[in-house]
Structure 1
Amino acid sequence: MREDNVLEEVDNPTVVLNKKLRQFFDGKIVRKDLTKSIKEGANVPIYVLEFLLGQYCSSDDPEIIEEGVGTVKRILADNFVRPDEAQKVLSILRERGSYTVIDRITAKLNIKQDRYEAEFSNLGVSNILLSPSHVSDYDRLLVGGIWCIVQLEYMFDEEDKRSNPILVRKLTPIQMPHVDLDEYKEARAEFTTEEWMDVLLRSTGMESDKFSDREKWLLLARMIPLVENNFNLCELGPRSTGKSHIYKEISPNSILVSGGQTTVANLFYNMARKTVGLVGMWDCVAFDEVAGITFKDKDGIQIMKDYMASGSFARGKEEKAASASMVFVGNINQSVDVLLKTSHLFDPFPEAMAYDTAFLDRMHCYVPGWEIPKYRPDFFTDEYAFITDYLSEVMREMRKEQFGDVSDKYFKFGSNLNQRDVIAVRKMISGFTKLLYPNGQYSKEDIAEIMTISLEMRRRVKEQLKKIGGMEFYDVNFSYVDNETFEENYVSVMEQGGGKLIPEGLTKPGHIYTISRGKSGMTGVYRLETQVLPGSGKFERTGLGSDREAKEATNTAFNYLKANGKSISSSVSTTTKDYIINYQDLNGIGMTSKLTLPSLIAICSAALGKPALSSMAVLGDISISGTIINVDELASTLQVCLDNGAKKVLLPITAAADLGTVPSDLVGAFSLIFYSTPQEAVFKALGVE
């Protein structure tokens, strides 16, 4: 029985992984269940808490762990400075003459007096004299500051009342003062790729066993902005999927801008103070709830676009550079299928951004947040993983290295990727490689896997740009080519697969699909559903609202039918039957006015009891006299036909001259049916010879 238990422990992947972590990263790991148990009652950053747990609870002995947890709780209770208790702590320091505090300390060099001075974040005091040895030992004090345990003394000098009475006797960092990147890279070789991915995800608090391989890759993508400079990521999805968790709790090097409202001075550069804003102070700036993003300055979005493209921005007479990545997270309040049919996947952004193709094209990566399950309590790990501060510092150091060209040895990009696409995909390849293979030891298959997910994340951006901007973003068939076999592998996005608006197979008589430009200026799909009743020749329409142009177009169709019905069929009566057509704007872009020909075909189809050809879209229109009206922006319109499932397209003969402007593979995707008169359009639409 004991032998079975031993074998079971040896084979248990969790036990094996914990042993490896204890062996190669002792002192840099912590049991995450301990973090959870204390975090719930202590309002301190996770990275501070985990450092203390790593110091006092680095053991498998339950008694040592229990004693260590008690020590950590006592240290936090006695020494952590809450901002609202700062004056109380200063009073105790004055009365006792000495006191130990836990606070975030930032150091700066006072050039005029040639000395280092400390600023205490929660305690609210500054210009405290600091020993040069502290700064040389812990250089992170000069770069954003670190959390420390500090022994303070209070010595008021009656003779020199201008001097600061607070002195630093001893300073001990409770964040990693520095990391050995070479040690980290060497230890990586002892873990398999699956084990290493599990370690990374557990370090963010997640239990990797609860997620599928696909979900693990998506969770890993959230970490790229922390290891890659000037990386722009977007993630939209349902609530409670942890979109902002990693940027708020896990890394001390990122900041979450809640609420969305900000200023150019706060984000980029304050001209009055001549100081760089958040992008110069943090590795990652994340915007929570993208729907609420607003700039008080008119030029805010333009400056943001400039920064997202180049990593620099012009402000005043100077051009400033920074390396912070930009993250945009927010909620999608409806199903993705509905959103794709009625709008696009950037729709939750403010209108000034959601339809600005120049802004959206700067997004390197779109993580499909709807594929990540809503977090449940058992999703959070209880196992060993990196202290978040240690992992954060490793990721910050890795930002200095470049892995964007690792794919060139094995693959090259397909012809559909433009320069901006290549830059975006290379950044993702670099980010994933830094996370999974920081030591540079990977195989061709490893890079192929990274290539596939990276191309997909960028293609998702490009697909939405195509919906918004039309033919300018036509090239979305992303691929990579094997340098040895010359085999080309195409990458698709999962949500593009189904939900076509124009169904396959025959529809009911009187059901017609037409594609044209709506009120908003976008091109979309419209469905006409017709009913025929015995009557006296009435024509009713629903779904048009108060749109005068659309109503006039439908009136024109019925009047044309009254005058020319006999040339189509004697069975189409405008005196003994009533017709009702319901018009549906399937993309929610506003009703179109190009409804005369589609209405004519719909009435004839219903009156004759003949369905239209399967998977057919009607393009073009006619006037009251029967004159053919050509199709605007033929290439963009045909692209919308393809995206929405059309396989046959009814086209005016005048459009043939414009086919030279349409890419050949797009033309080849359809069976094109030309018409030169309204009657011919009706016959061909219904398959009548």
Structure 2
Amino acid sequence: MNAEAVNTVSPLDGQALHDLNGKVVQVFKSLAIDKRRLPASQLTKRGIPAYVAEWVLESVVPGQGELSIEEATKVRDWAARVIPGPGEQNVIKHRLAQGQTVKVLTPLQAEVRLKKGKDAERVAQLSLLGIGDAYIADALLEDHPDLLRHGMWGVVELGALKDGVAVLSFKPMQASVNLQLYKAARRQFNLHEWRALLLTSLGFDPSAFTEWQQTLLLCRLLPLVQKNMHLMELAPKGTGKSFTFENISPKVRLISGGNISPAVLFVNNASGQWGLLARFKVVVLDEVQTARFEKPEEIVGGLKGYLANGKLTRGGLHETASDCGFVILANISLDDQQRPVRELLVEELPSFLQETAFLDRIRALLPGWQLPKLSSKLLVGLDSALTVGLKSDFFGDALIALREDLEAESYAARNVHLAGARPYSRNEESVRAIAAGLMKIQFPHGEPTPLEFHRYCVKPALQLRQLIWDQLYTLDSEYRQYEHGLNVQ
């Protein structure tokens, strides 16, 4: 994207954005929420993501407009009773030991442990409470099978048994998505209104970003709408690389620092328990330079196979397919012009992640250094013109539902062909996948004009893949048999 495009201001003025509030409520009704309600509630300070906090708001104090003092007090009182603080694990366990039942808002995950000669054991894990072996009934697992896949957030009622703790009841977060209605709703907005609505739904103030910066923020959604979309974002500290992934969906797992092992990512060969790439829709490695990788050669070898064909295996003992997207977030150094110090952008990554066979399988590189550092001025606030967005739990589920809509892939296959006598096949596949994803995000109804598709889907796709191609071209002469610049016919 050229400098002129980077500096193009947002096309909607303040009045147009202000007028859009009523339209969003009219079209989406109860699925819309005033994004100012969330920071006023202070719920995220209790360690819960936005998609959970907005569900709490709708459950406890439903309504539109700013959060009143009375509503804020009611929410905080509810949170004090139901959301456990970091130092309250032992208090809750003490209450259970006294025979009390306890209700808590927490993520709940279940697993079935098979043992030779014994009945299968079903256990629930409540990570916020430090409980890893609570009893859970078959009926709850049948009603909520996602508890066995990636876990679910909800209100859990716990009671004590003679030999432990039992999950007595579970009220999950509910978000119903009708994709046809979502597409029909898109037809009520022009493109600039829709992009502004998407950004507001993510918690950003669209008027604070240029058109190109808006596109970069929307590109962070690509792994949600596209199966096996693998991205890398490089940026200095403080640009909010993980902000979207933390707050968009329980089907996105963010790993920030700590130990990362083949068992965590792929499969635990001892127990047969599948790792994160098998159980989530998107797995994000944040602050990758600070992570501690156990057996890095095995990890990068397994990742190369997975990123190429979507198959998960480890030593040939177990094998399964997954459509999980894999995202790497890393910090890089900038000069006084806010440009990367190093010409080779991946030079600051751990050495085993600089291998060209690995990088080639990453679809796109997001230039996060072109985004401003995250601050309250960039988020929806009291001075924002557009404050109404889609509820985070509904929005995240709608994006993930678009994975199953293959019309955009067909459209991109027909209309995206790289120029040159001998285009590199992975470049063409990647550009098509990125363009199809951007079409799902911006044109879920499948009705872009040819000019819109080229400007808002194909051009960004070329830009993001070109940055990966530049790394490969610099690192390995094998790639120089192909043309350097990516263009479409």
- Shorter-chain-normalised TM-score: which range? 0.7 to 0.9
Mapped pair 1:79 → 2:82 = yes
Select 1:461's aligned residue among 468, 471, 482: 468
Q: Which is worse superposed, 384-393 or 249-258?
A: 249-258
Partner of 1:650: none
Deviation at 1:430? 2.1
Partner deviation per Cα, 1:163-202 (whole Å, 9 max, x = no partner): x67462x5322x2254333332222221221111112111
C-alpha separation in 1, matches of 2:288 and 2:397: 28
Matched residue of 1:230: which SS?
coil
* 2:412 maps to amino acid: S
Secondary structure class of the residue paired with 1:475? coil
- Structure 1 residues 338 and 328, CA gap change in structure 2 (3 angstroms): same
How much has 1:463 moved relative to structure 2? 1.8
**Map of 1:299 onto structure 2:** 298
1:331 deviation in Å?
1.8
Query: In structure 2, what is the equivalent of residue 478 of structure 1?
Result: 486
Q: Does structure 1 retain, via aligned residues, the 8 Å contact 2:334–2:341?
A: no
| Residue number in structure 1 paired with 2:418 | 413
Aligned pair in 2 of structure 1 residues 135, 192: CA closer, same or farther (>3 Å)? farther
> Within 5 Å, which residues of 2 pair with 1:260-659?
261-292=259-290, 295-297=293-295, 298-317=297-316, 318-335=318-335, 343-354=343-354, 356-382=355-381, 383-402=387-406, 403-415=408-420, 417-449=423-455, 450-470=457-477, 472-473=479-480, 474-481=482-489
Q: 2:28 aligns with which of 11, 21, 25?
A: 25
The question of whether the paired residues in 2 share the 8 Å contact of 1:253 and 1:282 is answered with yes
> Residue 476 of structure 2: SS of its match in structure 1?
helix
Partner of 2:10 in structure 1? none
Larger CA deviation: 209-218 vs 365-374:
365-374
The answer as to whether partners of 2:332 and 2:340 remain within 8 angstroms in 1 is: no
Q: CA deviation at 1:233?
A: 0.9
CA shift at 1:153, angstroms? 5.0
Give matches, 1:211-290, under 5 Å: 211-259=209-257, 261-290=259-288
Deviations 1:79-114 (A, max 9, x none): 113464233223324546433222222355789879
CA distance in 1, matches of 2:323, 2:57: 32
Q: Which runs of 5+ in 2 are unaligned?
A: 1-12, 382-386
Identity of aligned residues (%): 26
C-alpha contact 2:175 2:393 (8 A) present in aligned 1: no
Check conservation: 1:253, 1:284, Cα contact below 8 A.
yes
1:331–1:116 CA distance, 2 compared to 1 (3 A): closer
**Distance (Å, rounded) in 2 between the aligned partners of 1:302 and 1:471:** 20
Q: Secondary structure at the match of 1:478?
A: coil
Q: Distance in 2 between matches of 1:461 and 1:389?
A: 32
Q: Matched residues in 2 for 1:16 and 1:423: separation?
A: 40
Q: 1:47 aligns with which of 43, 47, 51?
A: 51
How far residue 137 of structure 1 moved from its aligned partner, in angstroms, is 5.2
CA distance in 2, matches of 1:444, 1:469: 36
Query: In the alignment, residue 171 of structure 1 is paired with which amino acid?
Result: F
Rounded Cα–Cα distance in structure 1 between residues aligned with 2:342 and 2:69? 56
- Which residue pairs with 1:486 in the alignment? none
The one-letter code sitting in structure 2 at the alignment partner of 1:240 is G
**Aligned partners of 2:315, 2:459: CA distance in 1, in Å?**
42
CA distance in 2, matches of 1:345, 1:400: 34
C-alpha change, 1:419 and 1:182, in structure 2 (3 Å) is same
Give the alignment's TM-score, normalised by structure 1: 0.61
In the alignment, is the contact (CA less than 8 A) between 2:256 and 2:286 conserved in 1? yes
2:348 counterpart SS class:
coil
Structure 1, gaps ≥5 residues long: 1-9, 482-689
Q: Is the 8 A contact 1:116 1:129 kept in 2?
A: yes
CA displacement 1:99-146 (0-9 Å, x = unmatched): 3222222355789879976543333164434473x5565454343222
Pairwise CA distance, 1:342: 5.9
Distance 1:340 1:167 in 2: 51
Contact 1:364 1:458 in 2 (8 A): yes
Task: Confirm or deny: 8 A CA contact 1:118 1:130 kept in the other structure.
Answer: no
Contact 1:286 1:328 in 2 (8 A): yes
Q: Distance in 1 between matches of 2:179 and 2:444?
A: 9
Counterpart amino acid of residue 322 in structure 1: S
For residues 34 and 135 of structure 1, the distance between their equivalents in structure 2, rounded to whole angstroms, comes to 33
Which amino acid letter does the alignment assign opposite residue 334 of structure 1?
L
Give CA deviations for 1:440-494 in whole Å, capped at 9, x if unaligned: 222212211211110111112112221222362341222222xxxxxxxxxxxxx
* Contact 1:269 1:277 (8 Å CA) reproduced: yes
Q: Distance in 2 between matches of 1:378 and 1:338?
A: 20
Question: Given that residues 14 and 207 in structure 2 are in contact (C-alpha distance below 8 angstroms), is that contact kept between their aligned partners in structure 1?
Answer: no
Contact (CA 8 Å) 1:237, 1:331: kept in 2 or not?
A: yes
Residue 8 of structure 2 is matched in structure 1 by none
Aligned residues: CA RMSD = 3.0
Q: Is the 8 A contact 2:43 2:76 kept in 1?
A: no
Distance 1:140 1:69, change over 3 A: farther
Sort the Cα spacing of 1:468 and 1:430 in 2 relative to 1 into closer, same or farther, 3 A: same
Q: Which residue matches 1:34?
A: 37
| 2:110–2:123 contact (8 Å) kept in structure 1 | yes
User: Is the partner of 1:453 in helix, strand or coil?
Assistant: helix
Q: Give, in whole Å, the separation in 1 of the partners of 2:412 and 2:443.
A: 13
Q: Alignment partner of 2:327: what SS? A: strand
Give the Cα–Cα distance (whole angstroms) in 1 for the partners of residues 465 and 336 of structure 2.
Answer: 18
Tell me if structure 2 keeps the 8 A contact 1:261–1:292. Answer: no
Displacement of 1:14 after TM fit? 2.7
Counterparts of 2:410 and 2:304 in 1: how far apart (Å)? 25
- What amino acid maps onto 2:444 in structure 1? P
Q: Which amino acid aligns with 1:246?
A: T
SS in 1 for 2:36: helix
Q: Which entry has the higher C-alpha Rg, 1 or 2?
A: 1
Partners of 1:310 and 1:284 lie apart in 2 by 16
Residues matched between the structures, number: 461
**CA deviation after TM superposition for structure 1 residue 409, in Å:** 4.2
Q: Would the alpha carbon gap of residues 259 and 324 (structure 1) be closer, same or farther in structure 2, given more than 3 Å must change?
A: same
